[in-house]
Amino acid sequence: MNPHDLANWIRQERARVDELSYLVRKHLAVPPPTGRARWIPEVRECFRRLSDHMRRHMALEESEGYMNEVRKLRPALSRELDRLQHEHGELCRLMDHIQVGLDEMQPEDNLIVRSYCAQIGMLLSYVDRHEEEEQNLVVYAFSEDIPEQD
């Protein structure tokens, strides 16, 4: 993938992650005190869509996306790439844990609902930070040797 195509792909993927994260956040903003029998399946579905997309997104980053390109262009960044790739596995484990909790959640579960809302919020902040670090790494990798103009 050339740098231009890679940049477009990253922008499109980031936009989709942001869109799906927004939908999840919207559902979690104010958990309803009643009527959770409908709300819980909606949260499950929104989270499942985000999780499925994130898994595909991370798999593509590792196989066809920026990681291989950056590793070829800047071998010195391999440790950083390895760390980010390891975080992919951690994010998957966190998503698995949350999905199990959402699947077991009952409408009368007040504390569990609050707990999983908080866990999802933390996961989304981890995803935001992770995506930002990946984006910064790509910008650095492809612009380090570009000479400045006076």
**What was the pLDDT predicted at 77?**
94
Q: Contact at 8 Å (CB) between 137 and 70?
A: yes
Give, as one character, the DSSP assignment of residue 70. Answer: H
Q: Is the pTM of this model over 0.85?
A: yes
> Is residue 147's pLDDT more than 70?
no
DSSP sequence for 2-14: -HHHHHHHHHHHH
**What was the pLDDT predicted at 1?**
64
**What was the pLDDT predicted at 69?**
86
> Is residue 107's pLDDT more than 90?
yes
Q: Contact at 8 Å (CB) between 105 and 116?
A: yes
Share of the chain above pLDDT 90, in %: 61
Q: Contact at 8 Å (CB) between 17 and 127?
A: yes
Amino acid at 11: R
**What was the pLDDT predicted at 127?**
96
Of the candidate ranges 5-9, 50-54, 109-113, the one whose mean pLDDT is the lowest:
5-9
Question: Tens digit of pLDDT for each residue in 19-46?
Answer: 999 999 998 888 888 889 999 999 999 9
> Is residue 14's pLDDT more than 80?
yes
Give, as one character, the DSSP assignment of residue 105. Answer: -
**What was the pLDDT predicted at 145?**
57
Average pLDDT, the chain: 89
Cα–Cα distance for residue pair 43/40, rounded to 1 Å: 5
Question: What's the mean pLDDT in 93-112?
Answer: 96
